[in-house]
Chains A and B, each alone.
Chain A
């Protein structure tokens, strides 16, 4: 049972990472229908924010806590700039958005390479995340526990904003019916921008958190972007709950396959499983079934 438990824990913590990187996408892709391939580079920007903060703030104990909001703002600002300069002209062409944002991602990567240099940067983890705590006989690394908690907190915060704030109501109204929302006086332009700011900001937060697990380099985003999109698609576009279930499910699946087989084969199997799954439920895990012909 020990190894089984270990796989569950590993899977859940991998799922938390997936959730964190996909959360922003459920907003920008799920709610707005914008396929932002530069999302991965926003994650990278968050990671570099953590690096910059760690060079400014002397205390490693504090720098992570300062980097989290800073990463949110940097990611969000990048999103705003992207939305205002490019995406606003392209809402009618979602597939083209994909290629444009891919191009922007390429540029951002090379910018990072030129500004920070190609070698990976060190972002020291705070001392209070050193080591692990035993849970049911399994040593759960504190860094992974932190990411799990952070992912939970982001989900809760996002739900709260969507449900209880005026902005959240405007976002939901705009997503529900753009024309009606406009007739009742909602500025859909502003709402779009706010949605994009939050979604991209979440990517920045994910980037800060990922410095705890992996390297901070120009290629950080590319390794996550395909998986992030798969999570959103499997979860059902625009469904926060579906995204959570999908992230954890894919994380667990990957952990169990990686345990039984090799890492490469596990990744291939998970990809194929997702493709097969979408044949069965093309609308994702959670979705209202319609045969909309619009």
Chain B
């Protein structure tokens, strides 16, 4: 028995399908402006917010901790009476470490769940993927991780450091305190390290520091034999490390194995925080430098409470890190903005954002209403024998965010 499709049926059906397609046309043309209406429900005694973190895939390693600190902040706020008298109702989605999924889930949170704001994202790619979604739907995203700068979206608040609050202070530290004359750049092969290194090169050129080499490894690469050989052969005064994730483990094990030490050739890392230290091995990291705006060891009442609460919720072994703190802070900042605006409406919140402050574990932070970043104090830390990071240098006062590096005359994009 054979089922035959006559060519006539085929043709007719094709025409039918394509015809239906054609009739569905007639929407807006390119160049028209977007209009979107928020569906956020503010009538009840709860308000929905969305958490979007990778709970599976390669980035789960970092993002689950952000999810935990966001959850803690939400519980605190709810215990405190909520925001404008409404309890927070959390809708959590898994970004699965893939930009496409981040875009899809962000759309879902905004259009389907009608959340008032979304908190999350980690990698540059996840943020870039979500950016058009939030702009297109005129929704709010709070992004908690240090990043490569050169961005300032109307719909995003950046509570992590931009480059002039992390990378440039780190270079100042190396130049002023470590008196380096040469540097070697090692990074994962993606946008953040490449942009960071572009900034470092221009800084180096303007400050008489020689860049002796620039090496990129694929994300997740664990073979650093060749790279460390090159680092060793070049003999720079310091190494600037923008590697991400698992690659750090392989890099530092190889670094130590080939006899390189923190005293002879220090490595300054911008993506290794407290939670990554055990994975790399304290022995492999002790004495090396990091650049962040927050460390668990910060001696302030606000931080002591933050650390104690986090340990109470997640076990005595749990550590706190910069992105977790920035995420925790972001939820409190949103609360501050909403209360200042006395409204959950996106545009009201954005209008009210400028000047909102919060006594965060890292110190008091203030939102810049222009570029949507926050002023943060830069801290250079050194990994100690317990795997925590001690502050060894500080910018002493919060640095105003400058995502486009307009105040640095050596910067030419």
A interface residues, Cβ below 8 angstroms from B: 2-3, 6-7, 10-11, 13-14, 17, 110, 113, 117-125, 130-132, 139, 141-144, 212-219, 223, 254-255, 258-259, 262-264, 267
Q: From known contacts A120-B61, A139-B258, infer whether A259 and B250 are also in contact, taking CB-CB under 8 Å.
A: no
Q: From known contacts A255-B225, A262-B189, infer whether A119 and B253 are also in contact, taking CB-CB under 8 Å.
A: no
* B257 touches which of A2, A143, A254, A262 (Cβ 8 Å): A143
Q: Which of B216, B220, B257, B280 lies at the interface centre, i.e. has the most chain A CB atoms within 10 A of its CB?
A: B257
Q: From known contacts A120-B249, A120-B279, infer whether A223 and B61 are also in contact, taking CB-CB under 8 Å.
A: no
CB–CB B64/A118 < 8 A = yes
Chain A neighbourhood of B248, CB < 8 A: 215
CB–CB B246/A264 < 8 A = no
CB–CB B279/A263 < 8 A = no
* A10 touches which of B56, B58, B225 (Cβ 8 Å): B225
Distance between Cα atoms of A130 and B216 in the complex (Å): 26
User: B73-81, B138-146, B226-234, B286-294: which one contacts chain A?
Assistant: B226-234
Q: Which 10 pairs between the two chains have the least Cβ-Cβ distance?
A: A120-B279, A141-B257, A215-B249, A10-B225, A214-B222, A263-B217, A258-B226, A118-B60, A214-B250, A215-B246
- Chain B residue with minimal CB distance to A141? B257
CB–CB B250/A213 < 8 A = yes
Distance between Cα atoms of A119 and B230 in the complex (Å): 29
CB–CB B229/A214 < 8 A = no
- Chain A residue with minimal CB distance to B61? A118
Closest chain-B Cβ to A102's Cβ sits at a distance in Å of 16
Closest chain-B Cβ to A110's Cβ sits at a distance in Å of 7
Per-residue contact bits, chain B 242-278, to A (CB 8 Å; 1 contact, 0 not): 0000101110011011110000000000000001101
* A263 touches which of B221, B229, B233, B275 (Cβ 8 Å): B221
Chain B neighbourhood of A214, CB < 8 A: 222, 246, 249-250, 253
Closest chain-B Cβ to A79's Cβ sits at a distance in Å of 23
Chain B neighbourhood of A2, CB < 8 A: 233
Mind listing 26 A-B residue pairs with CB under 8 Å? A10-B225, A10-B229, A117-B64, A119-B65, A120-B61, A121-B278, A122-B279, A122-B280, A124-B283, A130-B256, A131-B259, A132-B259, A139-B232, A144-B225, A213-B222, A213-B254, A214-B246, A214-B249, A215-B250, A215-B279, A223-B222, A258-B223, A259-B226, A259-B230, A263-B217, A263-B221
CB–CB A139/B259 < 8 A = yes
Chain A neighbourhood of B258, CB < 8 A: 132, 139, 141
Q: From known contacts A3-B233, A119-B276, infer whether A141 and B254 are also in contact, taking CB-CB under 8 Å.
A: yes
CB–CB A119/B259 < 8 A = no
**Interface of chain B, main secondary structure:** helix
Distance between Cα atoms of A132 and B217 in the complex (Å): 24
| Residue total for B at the interface (Cβ-Cβ under 8 A) | 41
B interface residues, Cβ below 8 angstroms from A: 56, 58, 60-62, 64-65, 189, 215-218, 220-223, 225-227, 229-230, 232-233, 246, 248-250, 253-254, 256-259, 275-276, 278-283
CB–CB A142/B257 < 8 A = yes
CB–CB A217/B226 < 8 A = no
Closest chain-B Cβ to A15's Cβ sits at a distance in Å of 11
Chain B neighbourhood of A121, CB < 8 A: 278-279
- Chain B residue with minimal CB distance to A110? B56
